[in-house]
Structures are given as structure tokens and as C-alpha cells.
Amino acid sequence: MAPTTTVHPGACPLDCPDTCAWQLTVTDGRAVALRGDPGHPFTRGALCGKVNRYLDAVNGPDRLTTPLLRVGPKGVGPVSYRPASWDEAVARVADGLRAGIDRHGPESVLPYYFAGTMGLVQGWTMGPRLFAHLGASRLRTTICTAAARAALASIYGRSVGFEPESVVEAKLIVLWGANLLSTNLHHWPFVAEARRRGAYVVTVDPLRTDTAARSDEHVAPLPGTDAALALGLMRHIRDLGAADTEWLAAHTTGWDRLQARLDEWPLDRAAAVCGLDVDVLRRLGERIATTRPTAIRVGLGLQRHAGAGQAVRAIAAIPLVTGDFRHPGGGVLVTTSGHHRIDTDRVARPADMPAPPARSINMSRLAAALTGEADPPVTSLVVFDANPAATVPDQNRLRQGLGCADLFTVVLEQRWTDTCDWADVVLPATMQPEHLDLHTSYGHHYATLNLPATVAPGQALPNTEIFRRIAAALGLEHPRLRDSDTDLARQLLDGSGVSYEELAEATYARATGVEVGTAPYAKGDFPTRDGRARLYDPQLTAQGVDPLVGYTPPAEAGDTELARRFPLALISPAGRYLMNSTFASQPWHLERTGPPRIHLHPDDAAARGLADGDTARVHNDRGEFLATVAVDDATRPGLAFTYKAYWARLSPGGSTVNAVTAVRDTDLGGGPTFHDTRVEVRAAPAQPA
Ligand SMILES: Nc1nc2c(c(=O)[nH]1)N[C@H]1C(S)=C(S)[C@@H](COP(=O)(O)OP(=O)(O)OC[C@H]3O[C@@H](n4cnc5c(=O)[nH]c(N)nc54)[C@H](O)[C@@H]3O)O[C@H]1N2
Ligand SMILES: Nc1nc2c(c(=O)[nH]1)N[C@H]1C(S)=C(S)[C@@H](COP(=O)(O)OP(=O)(O)OC[C@H]3O[C@@H](n4cnc5c(=O)[nH]c(N)nc54)[C@H](O)[C@@H]3O)O[C@H]1N2
Ligand code: SF4
Ligand SMILES: [Mo]
């Protein structure tokens, strides 16, 4: 018989601002090819390199296909587990959760989840709904964008900014701590188009990334000093008489106070703090002062520092001073999340469903929460869509917590990860071709529907179905815990202006009410109470934060004892062929990425007697990891970097960069400070392959 081939539209589920629409080819039930949707205005027919090989992960021999129960010690891997039926596994989950609840109440249960899938159905509704109804601890989902979200809520009212496709209209584009070619690839063609129309492109990044190298200019400040840079630039813009005082008066509050602060930030002070030549600041200030519209695309890397909230506020203040929001393509954009009309919380915690009040636990502090910080203690942890053993700070402390005999851990996963090593129960989950989901985006304005196209391997089930079964095993009978995936998608779309039928027909639709080529804040109208953007926000005082836009230095910098003992600053940004830890076990992706490396400036390598290819121990008081030395002049003296999210179990020495990162909150939002880390690097014996 001839093979049957069908093509199914869907969405890339990964934690990436681009949320591509894809077309999946299925032959005789097997997913065989994947390509970007040529009609989608942001995807434009191409996926990225790493997702061109997504089907390796879907069809891989390493998929989990059956529930697994722990029968041996924690922390040693799959040898400690035996297969079980769904009924037995789910009963074991219910028993484990109940044992903790009987001793310490429902808040002893902590769901831990993040954006392994950005899908709202599988990721963000049924799981949180079940745990809210149970009265479990709420998870504060801070690991990625919390500082930026809090900063944007303060200054603009919500996470809003310029419309990304309209950047073609900009005449100056500043890519600020944003490595588009690795992490926001589909925004780059719009930048390139603006450039063809005459725009000048500046990248502000401590590293000479590919994006920086392909820009017209690269400005490389010391990490964590962006607020000082922004203040210096605003000072210069004002001194040049380029502040849009009319627009400032009509649409902002706090300009007088900010002016007084700018008096404290002459260019030479800002340049000294940032480790930059004063002429670099002067030229950039002049360029911004004289170019309308200027678009500032802000990445997330710069908000992984102690002063992150102030950094994002200070950058977000620049277009308020220049009046850039008047123009299509002008202003700042950090994330488009605040434009989408889908209200996930409303579906996760429906009004007609009781959810007892419960404490919140900050996910970025998981290592601390599991080792004494939480009272009552966390006695059960249910992990889905995340791999915290590889991705949260203070890995050694986290392992102490995960290894505790009286912690009951459940992990829903597609393949065996670092986190599975610590589980009592591992439950096999479906991947994107196998389940229904609905996506918004944090980099554009479209919603996308993903319909199931293939059958899952073995007994793998969608997260939603696993939670429905756990709810039943716990004896929870609320009908909302039996809603189907389609019900959840419909509930999410309710009131969004886009219907399920429309998406089922077209796959994607513009879903924010902001049109391409428009300037949504030209006349102010920010989503604050009075429609004005806030350069001064008195509400911040209660949180111990300076209400005025200002500068908070990095925590692990300066002329301190710590900085003398650990003289290198270390950042760990995103690697091009990885997606957090999601592909870090896939042969194709690992081969392109290479082993964990520590990139050192030639001066720093020479000072330590290290050469390319040497094995080195990267360490501080919290821990260490092993890495291959890469001597690299893409960085500056005193600044080392490595890519995030390798797996510990596949790394030499058995730990990753997160063995040296700290549990510490950003000034705003309670985010993590991955890039605010100091280390020393020393030669280590070569490791067997
Ligand atoms: N290929 C790939 N794509 C990804 C991911 C991935 O792992 N791989 N991860 C996804 C996720 S979860 C996220 S959150 C995004 C993150 O993507 P980005 O927002 O791009 O974040 P990072 O890669 O952490 O950092 C971006 C850049 O900021 C720079 N940087 C670090 N500290 C500072 C600073 O203090 N100031 C300035 N100006 N720049 C600084 C880094 O050198 C880096 O080049 O990407 C998503 N896309
Ligand atoms: N040192 C350092 N650490 C970092 C960062 C950094 O810059 N530096 N960046 C941080 C950032 S920005 C982020 S967002 C976090 C991300 O960290 P995590 O949220 O832990 O993300 P991933 O490592 O991608 O793990 C996602 C997991 O979800 C699983 N998954 C995907 N889809 C599904 C599904 O439908 N069902 C189930 N059950 N599982 C699924 C995947 O198999 C994968 O193992 O890492 C943070 N860690
Ligand atoms: S990871 Fe990002 S760029 Fe790659 S296919 Fe997915 S959404 Fe598109
Ligand atoms: Mo992230």
C-alpha cells in the first residue's frame, strides 16, 4: 500500500520569543518533516537550526514510554526505577502527596513548572488549577523575566512596548543585551529591513556576540551597569536640548525628579561605571538625541543581575525622554506579553472553583525552599515542563534538598533528565505533535493553535491528562478538573477577540488589538491607572526600592574582598543550538554546541597559564564545574562566559554552571541573578571522555 502523508499546522512550543508557526509532515503515523509556515508574518517559512532537528527529540530512542517508580536510592539514575502501570503510578503519587498533606497541610505540596512548553493548555492551566484547588503552595514563576515584568509594570503599567514588526520604520535600532541571532532569530530580518532603509544598528552587550559583530557598532559595557549607561545617555540627550518636554509633560510623571537625578550622572561618571570610553557614550547619546524613531530592543540577559529592575526601568525611560513612542517603530520593547488578551490566570483559577489561600514560593529560591527556608516545609514537589536540577541557582544546595529522604518528588517528563534522577515517580509526557495546545508569544502579536497530529510513544500522556488522573486519585471531584484540552483552549480564548473555530481554520491570528505600523502609545495611554508612564513610582518605596529611575550596582562586583578572591565576573547566556536544557542530551545539538566551555579573554587565560583546550575548574564558595578553556577575544578582560543549561549528569565532574550561581533576588520582582556571579578559574586534570 502507498504510504499516507498528511501535513499538520502547529506551533513551536519552546521558550523563545518567536513562537513559530510550523507545518509538520506525518507519514504513516510518524512525524517525518518539519518546516516553518511560509504564510506566517513573523515565521516567514523558516524555523531555527535547533528546531529543524526537533523531530530527533520526538522520535528519539530516549523518549519515556512508561511510568517509573523508584525502588533504589535517589540521585543515581534510571537503575533505581521499575516500570509501573498508570493506575499504580498515579496511586503512588496520590499516597505520596497525601502523606505530606496529613502531616503539614496542603501548602507542603509545591508544583514546580516553567516554560518547557509555552503552551497554555499543557503548561499553564490544568496543573496550576489542580494545585490551586488543592491549596498547595503557589509558585512565583520568576526564573526568567520577573525583574523585567516588575520594572515594566512600574514604568509602563504592564509588559508592553513597540510593535515588533514595525521596527522596519526605525532609523536607529539599539539591541540592548539582546542576542537576536541566537535567541530571537525571527526579529533579525525586520532589523535587516530597517537597515536597508537606512537605519543604524548598535548592539549593547559585554560580549561581541554574532549579533554584535553584525551590527554597525558594538558597545561593550561591564555587565550589570546598564542603568548607569542609560542615565548617562539621558543626561546627554537632555543637555543637547533633545528631551521632548511637551510629550514628557503630557504623558509621564516624575520628569522633574529625574532631571535632578540626571544632574548626578555626567557622561564621565557613567562611562567610568560602565568601563567605557566617554566618547562612546557621547556619540551614542548624540545619535539617540538626533534620530527619530529610535527602537530599543531589550533582551533578558541584562535583568539577571542584582540591579535588574532599575536597569530595565532606566532603559525604558529613554524613549519617554525622547518622545519616541510618538512614532511607529519607536520606543522600547522587552516583551510583547502584556499585549496579549488571553487571561491565563482566569483559566488556571476559575471563579467557580474554590482555591484556598496559600503561601507563594519563589521558584528561583527552590534550593533554599527545599533546605530549610520554607515553613511549613515542602514535603512534596511536582515538577513539569522544567528541569530544575540543571537550571536553578545553587545546584549543590538544591541537590541536598532533592536528595532528602522525606521529600516526595514527582517528575512529568519526555525524557530522562537531571531532575528525574531525584524523583520518586517519573511520568511519561507527550511532545508537541502529540497534544493540543494554544500559544501566545512574548516576541510578537499572534496566537497559534497546535492540534495533535501523531500518537504518542508507549503510554506517554499529555500533562493535562496526567493531572486529571492525579486529581481523580486524590478524590478531587470538581468538574473543572475534568475539562478536556479543547475546553481549556476555548476557556483561554473566551473574551480574547479570537475564537477557537477561527484558529482551527487559520492556525494563527493577530490577537492583541495592536496593528503593524502603528504606535500604540503615541498619545500616552499607557496601561497605568492615569495613563501616564512613571519615571517616579512611589509604590516602590514599600518594596525597599528607589522610587526614582536610578542605578543599583551588581551584587558581586566592586572593590570587595569577594571580588579579590574571585576576580572574574561570569555570565552564562543562551547557546545557539540549545534551548535551556531541552536539547542538551540530543546528539546533533550537543555536537554543534560542544562540551561545556569557559571562555576567557586572552589576558585572563595567560595570567592563569591556561591555553585553548585545557580543562579548567571554575569555582567559588558555592561550588565548581569543569569546563574546556576557550581563549576568546569576544569578551573583555575580567569577564568570563559559558553557555547555560548543560545537563549535570552528562557534564564532566557532574555539575554545571549553576553550581556557582547564587540564590539571590533581583532588586525588583524576585528574579534570579545568574549573570551576577564571580569565580576563579584554575587548571584541572583532563577528564576522560
Ligand atoms: N538558542 C537559544 N535560544 C533561546 C534560549 C536558549 O537557551 N537558546 N533561551 C530562551 C530563553 S528561556 C530566554 S529567557 C531567552 C534569553 O535570551 P536573551 O534575552 O538573548 O538572554 P541571554 O542569552 O541570557 O543574554 C542576552 C545577551 O545579554 C548579554 N548580557 C549579559 N549580561 C548583560 C548585562 O549586564 N548588560 C547587557 N547589556 N548585556 C548583558 C549576554 O552577553 C547575551 O549576549 O532566549 C530564549 N531563546
Ligand atoms: N546559569 C544560568 N541558568 C539559567 C539561565 C541563565 O541564563 N543562566 N536562564 C534561566 C532561564 S531564562 C530559564 S527560562 C530557565 C529554564 O529552565 P527550565 O524551565 O528548567 O527549562 P528547560 O531546561 O528547557 O527544561 C524544560 C523541560 O521541560 C520538558 N518539557 C517540555 N515540554 C513538556 C511537556 O509538554 N510536558 C512535560 N511534562 N515536560 C515538558 C523538557 O523535556 C525539558 O526537560 O533556566 C534558567 N537557568
Ligand atoms: S525555538 Fe524559536 S526560532 Fe526556533 S522554531 Fe521555535 S519559536 Fe522558532
Ligand atoms: Mo528564559
Residue 430 scores a pLDDT above 90:
yes
| Residues contacting 685, CB < 8 A, separation 6+ | 615
DSSP for 44-68 reads TT---HHHHTHHHHHS-TTB--S-E
pLDDT category at 688 given cuts 50, 70, 90 is: low
Rounded Cα–Cα distance for residues 361 and 157 (Å): 24
pLDDT category at 558 given cuts 50, 70, 90 is: confident
The architecture (CATH level 2) of 147-334+517-531 comes to 3-Layer(aba) Sandwich (3.40)
Domain boundaries, the chain: 5-58, 95-137+342-439+459-496, 147-334+517-531, 560-683
For atom 7 of ligand 3, the residue with the nearest CA is 19
**In 3-state terms, what secondary structure has residue 438?**
strand
- Joined together, the cell numbers standing for residue 519 give 504606535
For atom 37 of ligand 1, the residue with the nearest CA is 177
Q: Which CATH number does the domain 95-137+342-439+459-496 belong to among 3.20.20.150, 3.40.1160.10, 3.40.50.740, 1.10.3720.10?
A: 3.40.50.740
| Percent of the chain residues past pLDDT 70, beyond the cut | 100
Q: Is the CB of 593 under 6 A from ligand 1?
A: no
pLDDT in tens, 592-641: 999 999 999 999 999 999 999 999 999 999 999 999 999 999 999 999 99
26's enclosing H/E stretch is strand 21-27
Domains 95-137+342-439+459-496 and 560-683 equal at CATH topology level: no
What class has domain 5-58? mainly beta
A 10 A CB-CB count for 541 gives 10
679's enclosing H/E stretch is strand 677-683
Q: Which CATH number does the domain 560-683 belong to among 3.20.20.70, 3.40.1160.10, 2.40.40.20, 1.20.1530.20?
A: 2.40.40.20
**In 3-state terms, what secondary structure has residue 525?**
coil
Shortest-distance ligand to the CA of residue 596: 2
Shortest-distance atom of ligand 3 to CA 47: 5
Q: Is the CB of 579 under 6 A from ligand 1?
A: yes
pLDDT score recorded for residue 686: 80
Which residues have any ligand 2 atom within 6 Å of their CB? Answer: 15, 114-117, 122, 143-144, 304, 384-388, 390-391, 412-415, 417, 429, 463, 572-573, 579-582, 644-645, 657-658, 661, 674
| Percent of the chain residues past pLDDT 90, beyond the cut | 98
pLDDT in tens, 360-398: 999 999 999 999 999 999 999 999 999 999 999 999 999
Is residue 287 within 8 Å of 172, Cβ to Cβ?
yes
pTM: 0.98
pLDDT score recorded for residue 689: 54
Rounded Cα–Cα distance for residues 314 and 550 (Å): 7
For atom 4 of ligand 3, the residue with the nearest CA is 48
| Residues contacting 108, CB < 8 A, separation 6+ | 100, 101, 137, 376, 377, 378, 379, 380
φ and ψ at 375, to 5 degrees? -140, 115
**In 3-state terms, what secondary structure has residue 322?**
helix
β-pair type (68-70, 533-534): unpaired
Under DSSP, the state recorded for 171 is: S
Q: Which residues have their alpha-adjacent CB atom under 5 A from ion ligand 4?
A: 144
Is residue 642 within 8 Å of 679, Cβ to Cβ?
no
Average pLDDT, the chain: 97
Rounded Cα–Cα distance for residues 220 and 274 (Å): 8
Q: How far is the CA of 17 from the centre of ligand 4 (A)?
A: 9
**Omega before residue 376 within 30° of 0, cis:** yes
Which of 6-15, 47-56, 75-84, 680-689 is the least confident region? 680-689
- Joined together, the cell numbers standing for residue 674 give 545568574
Alpha-carbon distance values, 299 to 18, 144, 564, 578, 666 (Å) = 13, 11, 30, 17, 16
Rounded Cα–Cα distance for residues 620 and 585 (Å): 27
Is residue 474 within 8 Å of 92, Cβ to Cβ?
no
Residue 229 scores a pLDDT above 80:
yes
pLDDT score recorded for residue 557: 82
Q: What do you get for the CA distance between the two ends of the chain, in Å?
A: 46
- Which of 411, 386, 382 has the alpha carbon at shortest distance from 130? 382
- Which of 336, 338, 328, 255 has the alpha carbon at shortest distance from 295? 328
Shortest-distance atom of ligand 3 to CA 18: 7
Q: Is the CB of 12 under 6 A from ligand 3?
A: yes
Q: Is the CB of 47 under 6 A from ligand 3?
A: yes
Rounded Cα–Cα distance for residues 330 and 170 (Å): 6
